[in-house]
Chains A and B, each alone.
Chain A
Amino acid sequence: DVKVTQSSRYLVKRTGEKVFLECVQDMDHENMFWYRQDPGLGLRLIYFSYDVKMKEKGDIPEGYSVSREKKERFSLILESASTNQTSMYLCASSPPGQYYGYTFGSGTRLTVV
């Protein structure tokens, strides 16, 4: 069974802290994505990557950066966490050139206090 694993289910951080959210997939997928999910706003794309060391901005990249040093791992970085970044963060992956292999992780609920 294919899997996208997010390292933390719940995370509480202080304002101004640097935060790392980790995502690992075991499907050998080229494409990986980071979304945030907020009530009433749905899923909003933060960053995505089509290959190792490659990254592209999504719809809401401000305040975030990403790192992809290995094919299976995609990290989301909050350089200086703020309270408006309190949200559910979802990682997803998919094989290249396909719609239907889109697989999500279980999410990390981040609270910034």
Chain B
Amino acid sequence: QQQVKQSPQSLIVQKGGISIINCAYENTAFDYFPWYQQFPGKGPALLIAIRPDVSEKKEGRFTISFNKSAKQFSLHIMDSQPGDSATYFCAAHASGGSYIPTFGRGTSLIVHP
């Protein structure tokens, strides 16, 4: 059972465009939602994260939008650059649980120059 559904599986965007990756979850106990960025040959690294008490969090060109009622959250990359080309994973944690994140299956983003 896939508890965090991520889409799309792959995404191609032109330089300067907006990249949008979506995730949906089912477990209402989830209360921390990080995004990880993975470059080829590297492990995933924490990019940005949000808690459900806010609807949006922005760090530079990266924004998480969170819709608690719909149980959805998304990553927006503004002014996408070729250096943003990577695999992105959403994840969800439940504070009352084991602190082990449930990951989405990942999105491979390619930004063309």
Q: Find B44's partner among A99, A100, A104 (CB 8 Å cutoff).
A: A104
**Is the CB–CB distance between A43 and B44 below 8 Å?**
yes
Kindly state the interface size class of chain B when it binds its partner: 20 to 34
Are B89's CB and A94's CB within 8 A? no
B9 and A40 form a contact (CB under 8 A): yes
* A residues 1-35 in Cβ contact with B at 8 Å: 4, 9, 31, 33
| Chain B contact residues, majority secondary structure | loop
A90 at the interface (CB under 8 A from B): yes
Known: A31-B99, A97-B99. A40 touches B105 (CB 8 A): yes
B46 at the A interface (CB under 8 A): yes
Q: Does B45 contact A (CB under 8 A)?
A: yes
Chain A residues near B93: list those with CB within 8 A: 99
Q: List 10 A-B contacts (CB under 8 A).
A: A4-B43, A42-B104, A42-B105, A42-B106, A99-B93, A100-B46, A102-B34, A106-B41, A106-B42, A107-B43
